[in-house]
Chains A and B, each alone.
Chain A
Amino acid sequence: MSQTESPYWNPKTETLPKEQLRLLQLAKLQRLVDRAWHTSPFHRRLYEKAGVTPDKIKTLDDLRRLPFMTREDWMACQAEKPLFGDLITRPEDEAIRYHLTSGTSGRQPLRVLDSRKDWSWIADMWCYGFWGFGIRPDDKVFFAFSYGSFIGFWGAHYCCEKLGCLTLASGNMTTEQRVKQIVELGVTVVCATPTYALRMGQTAEKMGIDLRRDGKVRRVVVSGEPAGSIPAVKKMIEDMWGGKCGDTAGMTEIGTIMFFECDHQPGGPHIIEDHFIEEVLDPDSGEPMAYGERGERVVTSFGRGFIPLLRYKTKDLVQKVPHTRCSCGRTGDLYEGGILGRVDDMKLVRGTNVYPRAVEAVVREHPEVEEFQIILSRKDNVQDEISVKVELKPDQQDCWPRLQAQLGKDLADAHEGLRFNVELAAQGELPRFELKAKRLQDLRPQY
């Protein structure tokens, strides 16, 4: 079999029998805990507090001896020792990449650094996914992505260069320019959020272009939104583009994807189990959930050297099913339906994390505002919209056009460019609260 005929990026580990896979995970876990203990003061503090030392990790079940790592801990450590906290294991000058997330409190993001090896590993995890979804060196891959400090498809771009694909960065192109280039160059793979994949398709229609007839796209890789695993959305994308649509999921805290949908499209993505341990736990008790039960994703990553990530509580809601659900031969289990939602109040809007508290921090910088409300909705059953309704103080009515523009800009700046609809509410229209305010209404359908 020639290498391009292999359905697996890494046949050796992707098809390992489960017991072998567990042995491999244990070997990697022991080394990871030892490294975290010796090189990351953040982790050492956590382990000392929990009374755990590296020599206590003798079986995979001992993973549960390790304390959870939370985003809050990480943010506190960064705030205490700016810019990166004492979580990082290497001197800052060894890094070649810097990325950040959106913040939960005002404008404090998580900041991450990556070494050469980290960055290569990040691209490699995407290779598992792209190869598994049938993308090969002769493909022309187009990234509808803004290439900013948000990590997004950055790793996927480098993955495609590694694969030998013609890799097309569209940066600040307009939607029309992107559609035009996709058709002109005979692009075969498009990467975008599900929302934007649909938008490009709609734009093509307005331009008089039939992507199925005029284009050559055979794969659409989506990421960043739960919609990527909603069958109705995938079908819309596939009908529009004429190619298979596959979902992936990653996070800035890890730098890359942890799971991907294979070419067999089994209804959920495979976990890359030789590089991650994915636990599904009851969010309250921390007890493991059985196959088929919903719980919170808790991830341990073996890849990133700068930032050890062990038992990180993601707050993603998932449902794990056995690998045998898929016929592709991979032994990595699946998350049926992808990421099903969040266990906390963080909202995902068109691929960007939005926290009510962060929105409030921006809105409250404008003293003209008396009350406000955040409304999340889904337009045409597909595209998420976020609106901020603003009620002005009675004597501030004249400032509206200026404030509307400024607030829209400030909110977008604090959320990686996400567009907010800023609307004026009438006097007394918005609810008032005496105790805990509930200023967010999520009107989107829940799955």
Chain B
Amino acid sequence: MELIRMTDAGLYCVPGGFHIDPWKPVHKAVITHAHSDHARAGSEHYCCHVHTRPLLQARLGATSIETLQWNQPVTINGVTMTLFPAGHIIGSSQVRLEHGGDTWVVSGDFKTVDDGISGAFEPVRCQHFITESTFGLPIYQWAPPETIFEDMRHWIRQNQENGFNAVILAYSLGKAQRVIRAIGEDFGKIYAHGAVANMQDLLINAGWQFPPVVYINPLEPPPSIKGAVILAPPSAESSNWLKKFQPYKLAVCSGWMQVRGNQRRRNADRGFVLSDHADWEGLLTVTRATEAAHVYVTHGFQSVFARYLNEQGIHAMELETAFGKEEES
């Protein structure tokens, strides 16, 4: 590695003098997206996509934030940096670095399906590609989102008929917005946990168009609702807050729901295989499209995906990072 080196704070661009998604406070941090395992507090200066800015302000209390648009190159100490859409969540970006004829791309987290919110993923050619591998096993093949949301609507309808509320667990930043967009107000107002409601307020204030959600305060008596849709982050799963909505059925939205055992372990009534990450085919297609001569595989099934790429004639190695700890709020 020359242009980018691994340090104890994370990925570091040597000539540029900045880190990308560092896990320790640094002088200058370029942030791919606002999930907590990639965007950490304490750095002096931040640089990110313009859509990520309000999120960093709210989540990290960051003040010194420089923002960029996609496809808008900037030069930092002679290194040309350009952000490209990663399709993962709002503002998520791939970071392309060019210096002395060397091109690197740090994918951050990405998905290849256009969710209509996060921007459509754009493959970027480079010589060195640092990719995630969260779902880097061939058992992970996603169905089209429309199919999943159709199942979700069917499930909600069924619960309504049987007098159950439908509690849907989804990350407050990312999947919650997708669910809110897809379900809309088809089943009346969507009720939300504080984490989801706050995120919606934040995004709406930042100019995004979303149907409003109804915040349910944990300290107030339970609302008398029946057959409603309630959106909460995964951390609410075993909370007292959920008990307000009895009788309810619980669904989890996650790529891990692909395997039946995981679904049963979560004790969910239903698992929707809805992910903000690329599936196996997505990872392969993107990696091939970069035409990179060197691929560095991070968080997920690193060893599997790296080995498979090597067998396919793409030089790849594992790269240990601190990414991939599940976003909890």
Chain A complexes with chain B: no
